[in-house]
Structure 1
């Protein structure tokens, strides 16, 4: 049995910490400074991690390979299976012309003001997509729609990534919170309530923050009422549902309430300076099918995209078709989850050569390696929505070939994203089983009384590596609780801080970004995005760290018991 070494460098925890974060630094430098493609940065990080795990943490080569392969398997199913199905649905809507209908519905039913459309599409609709699918698909779909509405590509991606924070902890119908409860032994309802007393603060001011980033003070000054409606409606709903109902529905219900409130509000109130921020009304192709950019007329006219109907305001029937795919996938995924369909035919596979072969020194127990394969997981539910949507649009006049064309589009868009994700998640699993992750976490936990601030960055690091709040909670959730009890802090607060902190690194995570850029011209140029989002990620994580400090020391009564 391989026993993890927590201080392999000169028996010094701090020096071991510095060596342990080298793969993370390699990825960040290659992405943000050297501007290499995400898959190249992830590959370099994995190679660095593999060498360090073997040479410094003394992990046997076979075990290191097994850990990496376990991560790759998880990256393919369920992660990229969910992403693949969601992007297939998106491409069916593009090929059938229903995505263009969706764009036209936005243009003609709400003020054609980019700031308002940003809040509706990037914030409210993006949160709905996060609540259902996650793993970067909200960024890919929402940025494509924003670009089709006339947003510059880099702006659209940056802003949707900034928005892809507050919904994440309750994404996929509460799976991150349920996972956190499983590894910590704390009640999911209590953890969800605590996260629901942190993230709604960000939900309230994030619309203001994003508009400020997009237009500056001048643009925010004339549209702040809409930002207030979007943020307040989301924050209140997220708080109420997470505290009084449970962790499964805060995202879905908060996003729907926010979406409805904003759309209704802008029917009776409009900013006076719409012309300065007017969105594109003309039809713009909104897919990447051959590697070129959104906004270029590269799709052949001969049946590649079925007609979306005449230009102008969509009819009632067209409006129904515009919203149908997204409402359909929402209903199917929610019903699928609550009926526990994913557990049917579920296989628990003890990973050969890895299961209980590694000894977790920090927790003094063997490290399990059980791969959960769900043939009827969330990705399959989304695939069902793809099939139903295709049937509906074909009955409405679209050509059946769009189903296959959309599949080909999805492969062209996601081939590099798949490569990036398997490499970065493989690195995350190598971090876990080698002991590097626990060295990094243990070192951060030694900061003493200010640990509540740094607990946020533990979650940040884990989510940066894995691209998943769920994986972050599985990795460091229990460490947060152990450190909290040693320092006489609240275990509930520290565990929640891990989940809330993780969401702040989604905007710089290679897994999230590489999926997000898949529908744009920036495939292979993910470093441009990291350069734009990194500062926002650190700012938001720092603010959260201060909030956690305040909750621990100044208002401990806010912590649920």
Structure 2
């Protein structure tokens, strides 16, 4: 049995908090200074956290190991289970050739490269983030933009900016699922609250996309489609996360906004002149890219609908799973049990809820995705052999990310179980009302260094709720702000910068990309901090989930 204490180091809260910062600092040093692989950083930081827990906080070694085991298990289920199923579906569409059909259908909407930037980088990128995440949207959309005539630096910048607002809910709600687990707050409330913060920023991101693609002229000439895209995306994200299903927030928003842009562009087709040539809008300090336009599909309409079928199947199955009789049937198979051997008491001497493990194998997002994958096999006529090959390739590609996720969740669980997170939260609560602004900054910093909103939520979720409670601030609001603040750190994360540079052949240009994206990231962060602050006042207080 281990009981958490508020001041285990020299009887001082400040010294205890300083020691609790060591595992987080170790993670940042591994990633930012030594530039180790992500899985090495996560497991190395876990070892540091375990040493702090045992030597500094007096936690029995066995309890620390069991807490790490519970975290690693949560990383495998439901997180890795969801990730594997999502990318498996995407891999099958690539094998069948329908992914190319989908890309061509996007390019056929308009020859204006600025509109293509919106549809490919923002709409389609959001769809990929909602399904797969892990840098997949940046890698794919950057290559597509370069193929459409954008120079590498400009293409990378557009893709990075676009891959912001979907990060709070993708892939398939994993960041919110993780946040709910580590903070012990209802997932529905956290998803709804994030859905009342991120959509405000979403309105402006397509405008920023066209601004980066073509400067002020791009905004002046394409502001209406960009604004229509942002507004439709934000509204759909709000409605879906609050009233339908948190895991579907990105997917539904991406599909709706893409449809809206298509309708608006076609309605303006007669009056809209094409965008300038790539040699004009491309960035002058990068090599000339191919000026050939994106290919336009000449296939039959049936193939286009089949290309969209996997995503429509996912939406339909998830919506159907929310119907109360179906939801009750799925949840009836859920098993909740205390993690064997892990016995924790809170600082108040009450049994802790941290050791409880929820195994919702039938209602899990990954299981619903598996069903969607089987439907995809039928609709796209994918033979079982091809599906198995795609699954094997997916597992091979995800070995690193799965190991990283398990390590980060194990790190988070050790810090939570030993009380390190509680001590940090109590210490930060000393900032009082100023913590309202600090809250989204923590999320931003976490994503900037780990590259994942899920990882950031795992690290800081429990800290946010502790600090909010101690400071007398709304816990759901500020805990959700960790996810919301994290989205604007996505564009400067080491992971995404590396992926964007590699996808465009600009090896070693990560520093140039960072300098180019940093000001936009800070600007959007300031906007998010303002939103969260106003939601604690009468101005926007009516938006807060209670």
* Alignment partners' CA distance in 2, 1:425 and 1:184: 13
Report the alpha carbon displacement of residue 89 of structure 1 after superposing the two structures with TM: 1.0
- Tell me by how many angstroms 1:139 deviates: 5.6
What is the distance in 2 between the residues matched to 1:358 and 1:163? Answer: 43
Contact preservation (8 Å) 1:480, 1:495: no
- The gaps in structure 2 that reach 5 residues or longer are 282-289
> Would you say the 8 A contact 2:153–2:513 is kept in 1?
no
Alignment of 1:411-422 (within 5 A): 411-422=395-406
Contact (CA 8 Å) 2:445, 2:489: kept in 1 or not?
yes
Determine if the alignment matches structure 1 residue 24 to structure 2 residue 24.
Answer: yes
Contact 2:79 2:174 in 1 (8 A): no
**Hey, what's the Cα distance between the residues in 2 that align with 1:436 and 1:420?**
21
CA contact (8 A) 2:331 2:360 kept: yes
Q: Could you tell me whether the CA contact under 8 Å between 1:467 and 1:509 is conserved in 2?
A: no
Q: Residue 355 of structure 2 aligns with which residue?
A: 369
SS of residue in 2 equivalent to 1:349: strand
Which residue matches 1:381? 368
Tell me the equivalent position of 2:230: 231
Task: Find the counterpart in structure 1 of residue 307 from structure 2.
Answer: 322
Q: d(CA) in 1 for partners of 2:101 and 2:319?
A: 25
The residue that corresponds to 2:275 in the other structure is: 273
* 1:392 maps onto 2:379 in alignment: yes
In the superposition, relative to structure 1, how do residues 384 and 173 fare at CA in structure 2: closer, same or farther (>3 Å)?
Answer: closer
Question: Which residues of 2 match residues 48-197 of structure 1 at below 5 A?
Answer: 48-107=48-107, 109-130=108-129, 160=159, 162-169=161-168, 194-197=193-196
Matched, 1:409 2:393: yes
Q: Distance in 1 between matches of 2:358 and 2:292?
A: 45
What TM-score do you get using the length of structure 2 for normalisation? 0.79
Contact 1:102–1:322, Cα closer than 8 Å, also in 2: yes
What CA distance in whole angstroms lies between the structure 1 residues aligned with 2:393 and 2:219? 37
- Corresponding residue SS for 1:371: strand
Q: Distance in 1 between matches of 2:380 and 2:189?
A: 44
TM-score (norm 1): 0.77
Matches within 5 A, 1:434-453: 434-453=418-437
Deviates more, 1:84-93 or 1:468-477: 468-477
| 3-state SS of paired residue (2:65) | helix
Shift of 1:417: 1.4
Return the offset for 1:430: 1.5
User: Which residue of the other structure, out of 338, 341, 344, is the alignment partner of 1:353?
Assistant: 341
CA contact (8 A) 1:115 1:211 kept: yes
Structure 1 stretch 463-472 or stretch 260-269: which is displaced more? 463-472
Separation of aligned partners in 2, 1:342 and 1:137: 30
- 1:307-357: CA deviation from partner (whole Å, max 9, x where unpaired): xxxx84232122112212222222223323443264243222321121xx1
In structure 2, what is the Cα distance between the partners aligned to 1:77 and 1:185? 17
Matched pairs, number: 523
Alpha-carbon displacement from aligned partner over 1:370-429 (angstroms, at most 9, x marks no partner): 2222332221221222222223333xxx66532232123212321211222111221111
Unpaired runs of 5+ in structure 1? 284-310
Q: Aligned partners of 1:404, 1:245: CA distance in 2, in Å? A: 32
Secondary structure, in 3 states, of the residue corresponding to 2:336? strand
- 1:8 deviates by 3.4
Question: Could you tell which deviates more after superposition, 217-226 or 528-537?
Answer: 528-537
For residue 501 of structure 1, what is the aligned residue in structure 2? 485
State the alpha-carbon separation in 1 of the partners of residues 251 and 485 from structure 2. Answer: 21
Question: In the alignment, is the contact (CA less than 8 A) between 1:148 and 1:280 conserved in 2?
Answer: yes
2:319 pairs with one of 334, 338, 341: 334
How far did residue 143 of structure 1 move? 5.8
Secondary structure of the equivalent of 2:341?
A: coil
Aligned residue for 2:524, secondary structure, equals helix
- Structure 1, 176-185 or 246-255: larger mean CA deviation: 176-185
User: Is 1:549 matched up with 2:533?
Assistant: yes
Structure 2 CA distance for aligned equivalents of residues 179 and 41 of structure 1: 19
Q: Distance in 2 between matches of 1:425 and 1:181?
A: 13
Separation of aligned partners in 2, 1:401 and 1:361: 54
Partner SS state of residue 357, structure 2: strand
CA displacement 1:181-215 (0-9 Å, x = unmatched) = 89989998876665444322201112223444555
Structure 2 vs 1, CA of residues 136 and 262 (structure 1 numbering), >3 Å: closer, same or farther?
Answer: same
Q: What is the distance in 2 between the residues matched to 1:424 and 1:529?
A: 29
